[in-house]
Amino acid sequence: MNYSYTFNNIKDIHAANLSRTFLWILYADKTPPHIGISIQGYFFSLKTEGKDENIPLELLQNVVLKKKITSVAVQLSVQVSLTELQLLFKNYANIREGESCLTPILQALGKGSFLSTVSELLKDLEDQDQIKAFFGLNLYPSFKGLNTYSSKDIQQRIQTLRNA
């Protein structure tokens, strides 16, 4: 298997303080994965048919566990304001043409749009020493990291979801 990002020392999610800032990599075993962000216990993500906004993390965790969604929660040392994140997500109805679920997260973290994949974002955060820990949910023993994919793969997946 070819990985674009491999995880080290993934801890059990129950050890996490979920009031902190987290990136949520949902369907971490799929190509491409989906990404969201949580702050102070509230989850946000942009989707093809809408968005998740101010979702209590307990609800997200229940869905992830019930549907057995392979997920990695990345605790960040970056502080993002809940109010700023709420205002940012008000500007979106869904994923716009040429964008992805990563777009508002890059904005929230003050990252450039030159980062086009979750792996690129994780490498940038790692280079900036902004990752505190990794936590997992529904990870199988052989799970190692994110599969290699491109911007083209992302746009094809978005198109597939729009046509479903």
pLDDT, one tens digit per residue, over 38-66 is 999 999 999 998 999 999 999 999 999 99
Tell me: the pLDDT tens digits for 133-142?
Answer: 999 999 999 9
Overall pTM surpassing 0.85 (yes/no): yes
Backbone CA torsion sign across 134, 136, 34, 92: negative
Q: How far apart are CA 110 and CA 118, in angstroms?
A: 15
